[in-house]
Structure 1
Amino acid sequence: MAGQLTCEGITLKGSAEIVSEFFFFGINSILYQRGIYPPETFTRAQKYGLTLLVSTDPDLKEYLNTVTEQLQDWLYKCQVQKLVVVITSIDSSEILERWQFDVECDKTVKDDNVIRNKSPKVIQEEIRSVIRQITATVTFLPLLDTACAFDLLIYTDKDLQVPEKWEESGPQFVSNSEEVRLRSFTTTIHKVNSMVAYKKIDS
C-alpha cells in the first residue's frame, strides 16, 4: 500500500480562502444578529455544520463579495493585520460597537509548496465556536434601538496598493466602552483573534 499515505494539509492559498470565507460569514452574522438590515433580507445557508444567515440585498452582497475577494488576495500576501466592523448610529453618528478581528500571519510561509498539517475538520470546529459566540453576543450586548449603519476597516501593511474606491479612515473607537474577547481560530498559517467593544450603558 505504499503511496497511499495522504496528508490533509493546509497551504497558504487554502488558508487565505478559509479566513476570507470566515470573514464573509462572520460579517453577515454580525449584520443579522445586530439588526443592521431587516431580517427578511437574509437567507439561510449551511456552513461549518451550522445554519447561518446571509444577506440577499444585491448591493450588500456585491460589496461583501468584493471585500472578501480583495481580502483573500491580501491574506495570501500576508498583508492583513486586522479587520474591523464598526456599527454607528445613523441619527447621531455615534459609534456603538466595534468588532475587531486581529490577523496574525506566519510570514515564513512564502508559497504554496509549504503544507501545514492541520485537519480542515479541526479548523471548521474552531471557526464554528467563533461564529456561535457571535450569535450568542445578543444575550449581553445592549439593544441597538436606533437605526444603524456599518463600516468595514481593513488594516494592512503600510506599502500596500489600495483599490481606488477605498478610502483612508481613522480607527473609529467606541468611547466609554466595555470589551469582550471572543474565541480565536488558527489554520497554523493565519491566526484570527476576535473581540467586540460596545458602548457602556450608564445605569
Structure 2
Amino acid sequence: MATVQKTKSAITLKGSAEIICDYLNYGINSILFQRGIYPPDTFQTVENYELTMFMSTDKKIIEFLEKTLVQLKEWLVLKYVNKIALIITNVKSRETLERWDFKVEYEGDTSNGEVVSDKPLSTIKKEIRDVVRQITASVTYLPLLDCICSFDVQIYTKDNIELPEEWTESEPANIKNAQSVKMKAFSTKLHKMETVVTYKNTEL
C-alpha cells in the first residue's frame, strides 16, 4: 500500500535572504522611478507580487544593484546587517534630500544554519505587496525633487567585520528638518524588514 506524505514548504536562511534582496531590488527600482531620479523611458514594466512594477534598463544601475545585493545576501545569512539605506542626494549641493531605511531584525533561533521557516511564501509576498503599494503612494506626500539627484546605497553592519576592497566606510546621511513615515513591515519568520522614509520637510 502506497503512503502519501504531505510536505510543508520550508524557507531556509539563504532563501529568506534571497526574499529580502528580491524585495530591495524591486523596492529600490520602484523608488528611483516614483521619485523621478531617472527619466521614465529608462524603465520597463514587469509583473511581480501581483503588481505592475518599474525596473531600470540602465546597465550601470543594474550592475551596481546586482553587486550590492550579492554582498548583502551573504551578510544577511551571517547576521551582519542592521540596516540598508537608499540615499537620494542633490547632485549640485550634495545635500541629502531623502533617505529610505530598510531595517533588519533577525527572528527565531538563527544560530543554527539549518533553521527554516514554515511561513507560506504566498503570505510573505502579500505582505511585501502591501509595502510596495505604500512606496508607490508615497509620491502623494513626499516633497517634489525639483533638482538633479543621484542615489547611493549604504549597508549598516556590525562592527569589526572585514570589508571587501570595493567597499568603504561612509558617514551617515543625515537630513535637516527631517520628517519620517513608517511603512508596513513584512517577515519571513527568519528576517523581519521595516521600511521608513525620511525626508526634508520643506514647509519648516
- Return the TM-score normalized by structure 2: 0.95
- Cα-Cα RMSD: 1.4
Write the letter of the residue equivalent to 1:79.
Y
Contact 1:55 1:61 in 2 (8 A): yes
CA deviation after TM superposition for structure 1 residue 107, in Å: 6.9
* 2:130 matches 1:138: no
1:17 is matched with 18
Partner of 1:66: 67
- Encode CA deviations 1:149-181: one digit per residue, 9 max, x unaligned: 111110011122212111211111111111111
Indicate the larger mover: 24-33 or 102-111.
102-111
Q: How does 1:32-47 map to 2 (within 5 A)?
A: 32-47=33-48
* Cα distance in structure 1, aligned partners of 2:108 and 2:166: 28
Which residue of the partner structure matches residue 128 of structure 2? 127
Could you tell me whether the CA contact under 8 Å between 1:183 and 1:193 is conserved in 2?
yes
Structure 2 residues not aligned, in runs of 5+: none
Deviation by residue 1:67-95 (Cα, 9 ceiling, x = unmatched): 11111111111111100011111111111
What is the rounded CA distance, in whole Å, between the counterparts of 2:174 and 2:4 in structure 1?
Answer: 54
Q: CA deviation at 1:111?
A: 4.5
The total of aligned residue pairs comes to 203
Specify the alignment match of 2:181 in structure 1. 180
Shift of 1:42: 0.6
Deviation, structure 1 residue 3: 4.0
Q: Is the 8 A contact 1:141 1:198 kept in 2?
A: yes
Quick check: 1:78–1:107 contact (8 Å CA) kept in 2? no
Question: Percent identical across equivalent pairs?
Answer: 45
Corresponding residue of 2:93? 92
Q: What's the CA shift for 1:112? A: 4.8
Q: Which residue in 2 is equivalent to 1:115? A: 116
CA distance in structure 2 between the aligned counterparts of 1:161 and 1:136, rounded to whole angstroms: 38
Task: Kindly state the Cα deviation for residue 59 of structure 1 after the two structures are TM-superposed.
Answer: 0.7
CA contact (8 A) 1:130 1:184 kept: yes
In the TM superposition, what is the alpha-carbon distance from 1:115 to its structure 2 partner?
Answer: 2.1
Structure 1: runs of 5+ lacking an equivalent: none
Structure 1 SS opposite 2:85:
strand
More displaced, 108-117 or 119-128?
Answer: 108-117
Between stretches 156-165 and 140-149, larger displacement belongs to: 156-165
Kindly state the Cα deviation for residue 105 of structure 1 after the two structures are TM-superposed.
1.4
TM-score (norm 1): 0.95
